Amino acid sequence: MDNMKKVGNSSCSDGFLLRMGLNDNKAGMQGLDKEKINSIIMKATKGSRFYENELKKDQQVNQRIEKMMQLKEKITTQQLLKAQLQVDKLVTELEQSRNLSNTIVHIDMDAFYAAVEMRDHPELKDKPIAVGSMSMLSTSNYHARRYGVRAAMPGFIAKKLCPHLTIVPLNFEKYGKVSKEVREILAEYDPNFMPMGLDEAYLNITEHLEERVNWPEDKRRFVFNTESTTEKDKDDTNMSAKFNEGGYSSSPVLFEDNTPLMDDHPDQRGQSAENSVVFGTSAEEAVKEIRFRIEQKTQLTASAGIAPNTTLAKMCSDRNKPNGQCRIVPERQAVLDFLKDLPIRKVPGIGKVTEKMLKALGIVTCSELYQQRALLSLLFSEASWRNFLDISLGLGSTHLEKDGERKSMSTERTFSEINRAEDQYSLCRELCRDLAQELQKEGLKGKTVTLKLKNVNFEVKTRALTVLSSVSTEEEIFAVAKELLGTEIDSVAPHPLRIRLMGVRVSGFLSEEEKKYQQKSITSFLKSGKEISFLRLQPAKSNQEYFTENSEASPRGSFFDKKRAARQLNHENLSLNETACQQPFHDGKSSANFVEETKKATDLENSNVCTIFTCPVCFEEQSSDNLEEFNRHIDECLNGTLVKDTVEISKNDISRENTLKFLPQFQNENVDERQKNRTDQLAGADQSASTSDNSSSKSTKKIIQIVPDKPHSKRQPSNLSDIARSVCMKQCLFPQKASLDNKDHFGETERAEETSSSCFLEAKEDSVLVCPVCNSEQKTTSLVSFNRHVDVCLNKGLIQELTEKKDFPTETYNMENSNRVVVSNFFSGGSNRRQQCTNPSQGTKRSGLTTSQSVSKKAKSSDSKHTIEKFFK
């Protein structure tokens, strides 16, 4: 209670100041003390829009904390004990899997950008400098840090702190070059080392050390380089002089640590020739050697950490910064000692917010994190508390992960206020262009486009839309982004949208497999078995068919399918048929058309399609072409198979996966290069319209066939949600095509014409919407309201479905008070489960609050990134 109050009332400046990273001012002669720094920053920042927003965010965090504390209050001793037992059981397992056999090194260049600039501008050497701009600094040198000048601080504030500060503009090209030089050295110790941005890298030197033991001295001898031989020097003729004066002799690389210089070769160093040095064979020596060589080559210093896993190595490299190194020897006790008093904030993955939340629980150090493990398991998501547990036990990845596939790509830009829609659209287009370029470099195509906006009050909003066929070109991305932007503009109309940042992101990339086979939406359909087609119910304009592809994300998540199905009805309508259908979120003069008029979708001929309905449940062809009658039939069938359905889910999912491998490759990928916007969404349909002959296809997955010919084999409904959807889309038709069961068909199926034939159901003006869940007729003819209704129904259904599942892990975790656990377990479906994989020796299984460790970023992209040097110490 006491705590709660404190949190709630905590001084509003708390979080903000925290963020500014005001900390150890090394009691140095020059510089400012902490208080002075605080007040200057405050003065400069107070009242600004930025500050106001910071306060707001801070309040939100406080509210979160308050909620957490309330939850905590309700926890009973018994629950806690139970949790303790369970967590400790896990601890035992984790402890058994501890792997100390690897030697991981984290290398971190000191004040990298600033150091490079100082090297290249000797006149700046003894001055406080920062790299960046008046708006934002990327890093500062140590001299400037004494004034409180930090990375991620706007330059104009830094100037107030330190009027003498020299701000040097960023020069990524240069940093990239230096970085490359460093990497060349690193590669010698671990060819598979993992760069993290320009100034950091992880190495696994386990193998190197094994070999190194047997190396002759000569292989470990390095000469002092007093010549300037680096390329940089060409830029700077003073290099030699500078190097001599501030260079190696005064550099502490070899002599700074108090640790004995030698291990296995006690007096080597002394024996070494005058201008050379020999390094020992231990891990420490090897890393000293690396740092020595880096400094010789670049005249820049690096810090390093050596430990049995990446997390520890990283925290280690921070310890003796700058220009120092630290090792945690591979013993359990050494690891625990290191962690004992380590503030959790030092742990990679624990940021400002998590720190504050944990602090509210009285947790500041890693050992406290361990002590509270039971409580944490009740208050945080599984992914989070498991991560906490790993941290407090000192577990982490013991090998460097391969660069995993990237999951998204984005670009964003900050600018001074833009409020004219016209400018906003062209900016948007520009961003799409940039992004498209980057996507193409990596050959990626994604299905989800996200627009990010930050208004002049620093409030950030994102709006996303997932489309069926993946996008990658400027035009394709813009077509979607434009729509999102238009909606936002309209939403504040008649006021202008006043923004200071815009960003575009593409995610939902196709997997390799998908790339290969994904072609027509039909193919995706075969794969996922969860296609949704939808009949537009505004027949006044046109009848179109929309496919929604289901992603892999939730292999068995029927709930999401439902949600998505319902939601996508909205979105598809919105984005794809702006002109042809009502625009629920736009007024008539939608600004989306401001820059580029949306092209009219090609109306598809469907008038002469003779329709046959096949019930998606019983697979009987229905004689009647009366929709209502058909609906009734399906409803009956559905009711009859409800129970059976849930049991069959997994089985069907498996069979679906198996068949996937044999999907034919379709060739019409670029057929519609010219077709943009919604037209391309309809490519599959378009094609089928012109291709009536699909006799070569064996339609095994047809659910509703409305095509004239073709008998088809039956496919079991995959699960309840599938059925629900198909019913929901009563008047829709599913693309078919097929050859799931016909491998012979493969390979030879290169002709686009063979791919599919799909038909359209005639839209009847008097269509009645019947909710597939509750079976009630809906009065409305508005799709949006109908969707809303279905959504609600589906949610109800979810609860039912939940209670029916016997294997739902209700007993596993504290359920009495925290339905959050229920929800998260359910919602995350497979993903949560995946994360539970717990073999620390198997490397990163992190998620939740740890991020960067589990994700291997592409070096390439981080290179071009505007990086900000870490700012705590």
Partner DNA sequence: CGGATCGAC
Partner DNA sequence: CTATGTCGATCCG
Query: 136 to 175, contacts with DNA by CB under 7 A?
Result: 136, 152-157, 159
Q: Which stretch binds DNA (CB under 7 A): 197-205, 238-246, 362-370, 392-400?
A: 197-205
How crowded is the C-beta side of 756, counted as CA atoms within 13 Å? Answer: 33
Of the candidate residues 354, 528, 591, 721, the single one contacting DNA (CB under 7 A): 354
CA pair distance 598, 615, nearest whole angstrom: 36
- Fill in the DSSP letter of residue 126: T
Token output for 566: 């319902």
Instruction: Give the range of 5-13, 444-452, 668-676, 738-746 binding DNA by CB under 7 A.
Output: 444-452
Quick one: CA torsion of 821, 823, 825, 826, rounded to 10 degrees? Answer: 160
Burial class (CB in 10 A: 0-12, 13-18, 19+), 322: middle
Please identify, using beta-carbon distances, which residue of 219 and 441 lies nearer to DNA.
Answer: 441
Nearest distance in Å: CB 113, DNA: 9
> Residue 846 Cβ, how far from DNA at the closest point, in Å?
7
CB of 600 or CB of 857, closer to DNA:
857
Q: Kindly list the strands in the beta sheet with 446-455, ordered across the sheet, starting from the edge strand earlier in the chain.
A: 408-418, 499-509, 446-455, 460-471
Confirm if 724 and 800 have CB atoms less than 8 A apart. Answer: no
Q: State the nearest-atom distance from the C-beta of 344 to DNA, in Å.
A: 9
User: Taking the chain, what is the end-to-end CA distance rounded to the nearest angstrom?
Assistant: 33
Q: How many chain residues are in contact with DNA, going by CB under 7 A?
A: 96
Q: Which stretch binds DNA (CB under 7 A): 25-33, 286-294, 500-508, 618-626?
A: 500-508
Closer to DNA by Cβ: residue 87 or 634: 87
Cβ 791 to DNA shortest distance, Å: 11
- Min CB(618)–DNA separation in Å: 29
Site string for DNA, 32-71 (x = CB under 7 A): ------------xx--x-xx-----x--xx--x-------
Biggest CA-to-CA distance, the chain = 98
User: To which residue do tokens 């629920």 refer?
Assistant: 584
Q: According to the binding rule CB under 7 A, does residue 352 interact with DNA?
A: yes
Q: Is residue 466 involved in binding DNA (CB under 7 A)?
A: yes
Which one, 31 or 349, has the nearer CB to DNA? 349
Q: Which of 99, 281, 384, 543 binds DNA (CB under 7 A)?
A: 384
> In angstroms, what is the minimal distance from the CB of 20 to DNA?
8
Q: What angle do CA 459, 462, 468 make, to 5 degrees?
A: 175
Contact range with DNA by CB under 7 A, out of 123-131, 377-385, 767-775, 805-813? 377-385
Of residues 190 and 869, the one with the C-beta less far from DNA: 869
List binders of DNA among 759-778 (CB under 7 A).
none
When asked if residue 560 is in the footprint of DNA (CB under 7 A), the reply is yes
Contact between 521 and DNA per CB under 7 A: no
Rounded to whole angstroms, the Cα distance separating 499 from 563 reads 31
Q: What is the C-alpha R_g of the chain? A: 31
Neighbours of 822 (CB within 10 A): 15
Q: What is the 8-class DSSP label of residue 469? A: E
Nearer to DNA, 712 or 846 (CB): 846
Among 127, 406, 600, 764, binds DNA (CB under 7 A): 406
Comparing CB distances to DNA, the nearer of 121 and 563 is: 563
Output the smallest distance, CB 384 to DNA, in A.
Answer: 6
Under the binding rule (CB under 7 A), the answer on residue 866 touching DNA is: yes
Helix axes 77-96, 382-393, angle to 10 degrees: 60
Residues 598-637 that bind DNA (CB under 7 A): none
In the list 330, 349, 529, 616, the residue contacting DNA (rule: CB under 7 A) is 349
One residue of 309, 411, 697, 755 binding DNA per CB under 7 A: 411
Distance set, CA 458 to CA 57, 352, 452, 461, 493 (Å): 10, 19, 12, 10, 19
> Between residue 830 and residue 859, which ones bind DNA under the rule CB under 7 A?
831, 835, 846-849, 851-852, 854-855, 857
Give the range of 117-125, 300-308, 446-454, 604-612 binding DNA by CB under 7 A.
446-454
Token pair of 120 as six digits: 């290249």
| Cα 701 from chain centroid (whole Å) | 34
State which amino acid sits at residue 746. F
Q: Is the CB of residue 377 less than 8 Å from the CB of residue 813?
A: yes
Nearer to DNA, 125 or 870 (CB): 870
Specify whether the CB–CB gap between 531 and 745 falls below 8 A.
no
Residue 463 interacting with DNA (CB under 7 A): yes
The H or E element containing residue 506 is: strand 499-509
Site string for DNA, 107-136 (x = CB under 7 A): ---------------------------xxx
Task: Choose among 61, 52, 55: nearest CA to 13.
Answer: 55
Residue 198 engages DNA in binding (rule: CB under 7 A): yes
Q: Cβ(706)–Cβ(609) under 8 Å?
A: yes
> Which residue from 350, 592, 601, 704 is in contact with DNA, where contact means CB under 7 A?
350
DSSP 555-594: SS-HHHHHHHHHHHHHHHHHHH-TTTS--TTS-TT-GGGT
348 part of the interface to DNA, by CB under 7 A:
yes
Supply the minimum distance, in Å, between the C-beta of residue 83 and DNA.
Answer: 17
Does residue 347 touch DNA according to CB under 7 A?
Answer: yes
Q: x/- site string to DNA, residues 678 to 717, per CB under 7 A?
A: ----------------------------------------
Contacts of 871 (CB under 8 A, 6+ apart): 21, 150, 151, 152
d(CA 237, CA 699) in angstroms, rounded, equals 74
Q: Candidates 181, 475, 490, 869: give the one binding DNA (CB under 7 A).
A: 869
Alpha-carbon distance of 249 to 231, in angstroms, equals: 22
Residue that the structure tokens 């139970």 belong to: 82
Instruction: Please give the C-alpha separations between residue 102 and each of 210, 303, 330, 479, 748, in angstroms, as whole numbers.
Output: 11, 20, 8, 50, 50
- Of 465, 489, 537, 729, the one binding DNA (CB under 7 A) is 465
Q: Which of 170, 409, 532, 535 binds DNA (CB under 7 A)?
A: 409
Of 196 and 732, nearer to DNA (C-beta) is 196
Q: How far is the CB of 406 from DNA (least distance, A)?
A: 5
Residue number with CB closer to DNA (288 or 564): 564
- Number of residues assigned to the chain: 873
How far is residue 104's CA from residue 399's CA, in Å, rounded to a whole number? 8
Are residues 496 and 445 in contact, defined by beta-carbon separation less than 8 angstroms?
no
CB of 9 to DNA, least distance (A): 19
As measured in angstroms, the least distance from the Cβ of 643 to DNA is 27
Closest approach of DNA to the CB of residue 570, in Å: 9
In this chain, which of 551, 659, 699, 756 binds DNA, going by CB under 7 A?
Answer: 551
Q: How far is the CB of 102 from DNA (least distance, A)?
A: 19
CA atoms within 13 A on the CB side of 789: 19
When asked if residue 820 is in the footprint of DNA (CB under 7 A), the reply is yes
